[in-house]
Chain A
Amino acid sequence: MTVPDTSLASASVPEMNPAPARALVLWRRFRRNRAALLGLILFAIVVLMAAFADVVTPGDPLRNAGPPLTAPLVLSANPLGTDQLGRDVMAGIFHGARISLMIGVVATLISIVIGIVIGAVAGYFGGKIDGALMRVTEAFQTIPSFILLLTLVAILGSSIRNIVIAIGIVSWTAPARMVRAEFMSLRKREFVDAARNLGVSDVSIIFREILPNALPPVIVFASVVMATSILMESALAFLGLGDPNFASWGNMIGQGRAVLRTAWFCSVIPGIAILLTVLSFSLMGEGLNDALNPRQRK
């Protein structure tokens, strides 16, 4: 309420010049953060690498493509070199981008969806339901997530599908707590009472009234989950628990570890790829935070 509406009787709505579309406003706020733009560019590069993997480096990335352990910039056929089995590192990086993105997106979706449902129900209903759900959440939080991940993968087997599901299962607790906190404050707002007063059902209030208001911080947090998902998969692969049928970045590091002293590039190049991808997610998360919660900035 910054402008007192003293001219209301004339039924004119002041400052009713057409407001720019919401997406445009968000983009403007996002753009203001330079680091976020850098993140977006890095992310776009990873997406392009994944999209054009078959064009730039056609064929199976796991096939023998040249003499083993060729250093980068020596052969024009293998610009980033080859590993100990003669697999092209550049092909691995391009095709690995697909796997990493897929893991990041799917595992994040799984964890956010579980987190939203549990957090929303706990935060909205409160009381005993909240108590029970939060004890379950705490049970998951007390076990170090990577240990739990190792256990799950060991039990389920290390196919790419199981890895993604396992990563989703170990990372839903933080989003759940976040959504719960948002719901606990939002459910006391009068618009929730207003909706109840109109006869709107609980499910509808949770998902159509409150959830859209609770989402911005969760979306920001999703970028963090995405980055940690990729790291977790890499860590699994590094320990030799990755899916050997796919050229993921983690697998490349894990196999390059054996020749780290003689052929550093086998581990370092995929390492840089992971670093830049994770960095891009966290920078974008920062920018999204500015765009979605403009008031949080000092």
Chain B
Amino acid sequence: MTGERKTILDVRDLQIVLPTGGDRAYALSDFNLSVGAGEIVCLVGESGSGKSLAANAVMRLLPEPHVRVSRGTISLDGQDLLSLPESSMRAIRGDRMAMIFQEPMTALNPQKSVGWQIDEVLKLHTRLSRAERKARTLEILGDVHIPDPASTYNAYPHQISGGQRQRVMIAMALVLKPQLIIADEPTTALDVTTQKQILKLIKDLQQARGTGILFITHDFGVVAEIADRIAVLRLGEMVEQGPASQILLNPQHPYTRKLIAAVPALTPPPAKPVSNEPVVLEAKALRKTFAARGGFLSGKRDPVTAVKDLSFQLRRGETLGVVGESGSGKTTVSRIVTRLLESDSGEVRIDGRDLLSASRSELRALRKDIQMVFQDPMASLNPRRRVVELIAQGPIVQGVARDVAHARARELLSLVELPPAAAERYPHEFSGGQRQRIGIARALAMEPRVIVADEPVSALDVSVQAQVLKLLADLRDRLHLSLLFVTHDLRVAAQLCDKVIVMSKGEIVEAGPTASVFADPQHPYTRSLLDSIPGRDWEPPVRDVA
């Protein structure tokens, strides 16, 4: 695959300056990268590595003058892009190089039909007649495997699914047959099964048309799936670059090794012997329907059933994973068992005590036993409170004296491996992983029996993710906690959970010990989920981080 191919994009010695007062002077320095025709180059890095800025620099879409290129050259098919006037740049964008964004819902104009938006690209860059443009648009929609191009042409972005929207974005990028496509995390917002289809689509189209693709991602699974060549970025520095097979199987730089080691392995550890511990949390026949609110004149819409007839048991010291794609009702389950959301019917018992019919004062006492760790460590901590107040808040509400609660909060900080000085700080002074530790400490302060964790690591970088998961597992074993772990990430579930329940459309389609569900899935949906995990055929070479 390393034969002589034409170089489409050549970036030499690129340096991008950041405004003074930032955490570093240069977003990127000494950045060299080339993309050949028909080649997929993956630019991998964690948040803050400068990978998106690199893409924006190529498109000349940097927020100048605060952030600008201070040195280096970028050439597209031999033509220097940095010296071009803005008007010529506009002609190149969309025509000779195009971009696919992460979030197709926000990248598409919600006020215009899909057909209109693709048509606009053609109108700007070609002299085709109206009829020819429509024919081209329909053709490209067919090429990206949109089931019914004619009706999608007239649809608005909100009327089609997330996967379809991303297909439309790709169609828009491809319609003028660009030489280079920059894809900035194009599948991060999608479910795994959709992600798999989109990755395949990108790969097929690229092979058919010989387009060069610069693919930006943080996910090594995705990288393993599609990359020809890989470049790894850390804090604006290129640490390693090379053919995909070499980097994935034999990484040289310690940082690359660490990143790859942090990817959770897909094979679950062997199942523990069946637990005889008492059942701590039990849910029976939970049901939740969201009444769709009709407008004053628009009449009623059909209600949506988020969870139907769901039951499970969680034993002491055990971890139960709830996995499924978006819209499967897994988050609804986590909110019902903590009674942040009222269930329509069914019961939830904690140590035999009914949570759903508890009165206000009973509920306050019961909440002590079931605590929650939230998904977004930025949004789940009140920005106006100091860390020690955040952690001590629960016990104080439960009637613990203020100074006792504060002292206990400080002890908890060391338990979640944060320094004592953290107590007096505000949440915004911490990184994502550290904030999630604060969230865990807050849950632990109540000395709960059950912790419900709703996607607690999905907002974190892989290397941080591994540390937080390890901490959760450690604490669970040391404090003999039970964990209800809601996740969309099957790799994470494989490593952490003793048992899993797989949800689809509000129902459990399969349940059982993790090892057996992963090794021998019974339900077709479980099988398709497992098949869609990106990079499932790739076995990461290093295995020193659990």
CB within 8 Å of B: which residues of A? 1-6, 8-9, 11-16, 19, 189-191, 193-200, 204, 209, 212-213
Contacts and interface: CB of A to CB of B under 8 A. Distances in A.
B429 A191 contact: no
Contact of B418 (A11, A194, A204): A11
Contact of B379 (A1, A189, A195): A189
Contacts of B379: 189-191
B467 A9 contact: yes
A8 B471 CA distance: 12
B542 interface: no
Nearest to B428: A19
B363 A199 contact: yes
A19 B425 contact: yes
Given A12-B419, A197-B371, A1 B429 contact: no
A195 B380 CA distance: 9
A199 B399 CA distance: 11
Contact of A13 (B258, B372, B398, B422): B422
Contacts of A204: 397
Name, among A12, A190, A195, A196, the residue most crowded by chain B CB atoms within 10 Å (CB to CB): A190
B47 A4 contact: yes
A103 B258 CA distance: 65
B432 A197 contact: no
A13 B421 contact: yes
Given A4-B49, A13-B419, 7 more contacts: A2-B48, A4-B461, A5-B431, A190-B375, A191-B379, A197-B367, A199-B368
B464 interface: yes
A4 B425 contact: no
B340 A197 contact: yes
A209 B380 CA distance: 12
A198 B382 contact: no
Interface string B356-392: 0000000110011001101110111111100000000
Question: Which secondary structure characterizes the binding site on chain A?
Answer: loop
B338 interface: yes
Interface string B331-364: 0000100101000000000000000000000011
A146 B422 CA distance: 52
Interface string B40-52: 0000001111000
A200 B397 contact: yes
Interface string B143-181: 000000000000000000000000000000000000000
B393 A3 contact: no
Nearest to B467: A8
Nearest to B439: A194
Interface of B: 23, 46-49, 235, 258, 335, 338, 340, 363-364, 367-368, 371-372, 374-376, 378-384, 393-394, 397-398, 417-419, 421-422, 425, 429-434, 439, 442, 446, 461, 463-464, 467
The 7 lowest CB-CB distance pairs between A and B, nearest first, are A190-B380, A198-B394, A5-B431, A199-B364, A4-B46, A1-B432, A212-B384
Nearest to B422: A13
A197 B364 CA distance: 9
A6 B338 contact: no
B382 A199 contact: no
11 contacts: A1-B378, A1-B432, A5-B432, A16-B421, A189-B380, A193-B372, A194-B372, A198-B367, A200-B393, A209-B382, A213-B384
Contacts of B434: 5, 8, 13
Contacts of B422: 13, 16
Given A19-B429, A197-B371, A199-B364, A213 B383 contact: yes
Question: Which secondary structure characterizes the binding site on chain B?
Answer: loop
A141 to B, nearest CB: 20
Nearest to B431: A5
A189 B382 CA distance: 9
A250 to B, nearest CB: 39
Contacts of B442: 194, 198
Contacts of A11: 417-419
Contacts of B467: 8-9
A191 B381 contact: yes
Contacts of B338: 197
B365 to A, nearest CB: 8
Nearest to A213: B384
Contact of B446 (A6, A12, A198): A198
B294 to A, nearest CB: 15
Nearest to B259: A6
Contacts of A200: 393, 397
B380 A193 contact: yes
B431 to A, nearest CB: 4
Contact of B382 (A1, A19, A195): A195
Nearest to A188: B379
Contacts of A3: 23, 48, 431
Nearest to A197: B372
Contact of A1 (B48, B375, B446): B48
A209 B363 CA distance: 20
B421 A6 contact: no
Contacts of A194: 372, 374, 380-382, 439, 442
Nearest to B45: A4
Nearest to A1: B432
B371 A13 contact: no
A199 B375 contact: no
A3 B463 CA distance: 12
A216 to B, nearest CB: 10
A14 B429 CA distance: 9
Contacts of B446: 198
Nearest to B218: A4
B23 A2 contact: yes
Contacts of B394: 198-199
Contacts of A6: 46, 258, 463-464
A4 B464 contact: yes
A5 B433 contact: yes
Contacts of B425: 16, 19
A193 B397 contact: no
Contacts of B374: 190, 193-194
A13 B430 contact: yes
Contacts of B376: 190
Contacts of A189: 379-380
A290 B400 CA distance: 40
B430 A8 contact: no
B185 to A, nearest CB: 15
Contacts of A4: 46-49, 235, 431, 461, 463-464
A1 B428 CA distance: 9
Contacts of B432: 1, 5
Contacts of B421: 13, 16
Contacts of A197: 338, 340, 367, 371-372
A5 B46 CA distance: 10
A200 B467 CA distance: 30
Nearest to B461: A4
A198 B365 CA distance: 10
B532 to A, nearest CB: 27
Nearest to B430: A13
A13 B418 contact: yes
B380 to A, nearest CB: 4
B390 to A, nearest CB: 9
A196 B335 CA distance: 11
Nearest to B375: A190
A197 B419 CA distance: 26
B113 to A, nearest CB: 29
A4 B460 CA distance: 9
A213 B430 contact: no
A198 B393 contact: yes
